[in-house]
């Protein structure tokens, strides 16, 4: 079907952030082509889009040759396992989607003369020696540690993207995403907030790794998506942090979940995983200056919306 709408390909479309990106681009009047191999994504996240004639879905693994007929104006590469529980279980697939997948999509962008935005991560900073983390910081990553499969896949993704920009003149954008949360996170995602909410709703002990004094900065998904959209539409090709600079300890987060859910759950402490970052907070000066972007949703509001989603999702398991 021919269309005058701008067309965007979103990989990882059935994932948490990917599905929200599909919603945003459809709301902005784009024709959206979603692509996912469903390794960690779920059709439930995009099932509401299937009746639309401006949404199309390709069940495909981007580490294999990617073909999309017709014009493409934009590509957003969000295909990748993103939770430690996933990339520790699927290390090779994680490395392949960051390398081969990125190569295939950059090649597609070059062929289609499309602008491409790739999803990098705060994990490129590793266990940081600089706080907060600005884009100019090169990071402190253990390439042979268990988290290296994700960290180095994303660092390679950035290097490959810059090579295509510099050598082929491809219009590229790089977003470094910090902890994001909201509806459509998986119940058994393995990250702190999904674990806490699921355990609290079921009145199970809430598991904290380490002493809980490690910090994170949580950005609600609609804010993250807005930052990504603004970056794609900007003319800036170097990495930009997108995240919420409000820092909180993991123990404080657990306590907020206990209060929100009114659970009887107690906090239990287990060993900290290898190379788990001790601090994480974005310096978002660049996003504020270049994109006129900063988070709008408070953690109290975001946690409430996420809790409502998890309560319903846990109920379906019963």
- Catalytic residue, chosen from 74, 150, 164, 307, is 150
What is the side-by-side strand order in the sheet with 115-121?
55-59, 31-36, 7-11, 74-77, 115-121, 172-177, 240-242
Q: Which residue in this structure is represented by tokens 């995403």?
A: 177
C-alpha to C-alpha distance for 102 and 161, rounded to whole angstroms: 8
Question: Please, what's the largest Cα pairwise distance for the chain?
Answer: 58
| Contact status, residue 241 vs residue 283, Cβ threshold 8 Å | yes
List strand residue ranges (DSSP E) for 101-159, in order: 115-121
Question: Which residues does 151 contact at the CB level (< 8 Å), separation at least 6?
Answer: 121, 123, 124, 126, 141, 142, 143
Is 74 a catalytic site residue?
no
Residues in the chain: 318
User: Would you please indicate which residues are annotated as catalytic (active-site) residues?
Assistant: 150
């Amino acid at each position: 079907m021919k269309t005058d709408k701008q067309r965007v390909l979103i990989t990882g479309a059935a994932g948490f952030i990917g599905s929200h990106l599909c919603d945003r681009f459809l709301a902005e009047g784009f024709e959206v082509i979603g692509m996912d191999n469903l390794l960690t994504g779920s059709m439930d996240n995009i099932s509401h889009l299937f009746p639309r004639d401006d949404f199309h879905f390709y069940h495909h693994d981007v580490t294999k040759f990617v073909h999309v007929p017709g014009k493409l104006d934009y590509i957003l590469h969000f295909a990748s396992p993103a939770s430690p529980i996933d990339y520790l279980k699927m290390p090779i697939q994680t490395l392949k989607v960051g390398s081969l997948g990125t190569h295939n999509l950059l090649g597609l962008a070059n062929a289609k003369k499309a602008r491409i935005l790739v999803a990098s991560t705060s994990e490129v900073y590793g266990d940081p020696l600089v706080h907060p983390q600005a884009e100019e910081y090169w990071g402190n990553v253990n390439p042979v540690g268990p988290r290296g499969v994700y960290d180095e896949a994303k660092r390679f993704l950035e290097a490959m993207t810059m090579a295509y920009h510099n050598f082929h003149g491809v219009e590229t954008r790089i977003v470094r995403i910090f902890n994001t949360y909201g509806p459509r996170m998986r119940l058994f995602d393995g990250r702190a907030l999904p674990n806490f909410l699921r355990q609290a709703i079921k009145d199970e002990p809430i598991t904290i790794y380490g002493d809980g004094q490690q910090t994170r900065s949580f950005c609600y998904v609609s804010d993250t998506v807005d930052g990504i959209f603004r970056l794609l539409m900007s003319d800036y090709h170097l990495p930009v942090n997108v995240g919420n600079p409000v820092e909180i300890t993991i123990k404080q987060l657990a306590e907020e979940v206990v209060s929100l859910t009114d659970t009887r759950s107690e906090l239990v402490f287990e060993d900290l995983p290898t190379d788990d970052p001790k601090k994480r907070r974005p310096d978002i000066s660049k996003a504020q200056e270049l994109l006129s972007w900063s988070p709008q949703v408070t953690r109290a509001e975001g946690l409430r919306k996420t809790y409502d989603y998890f309560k319903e999702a846990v109920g379906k398991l019963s």
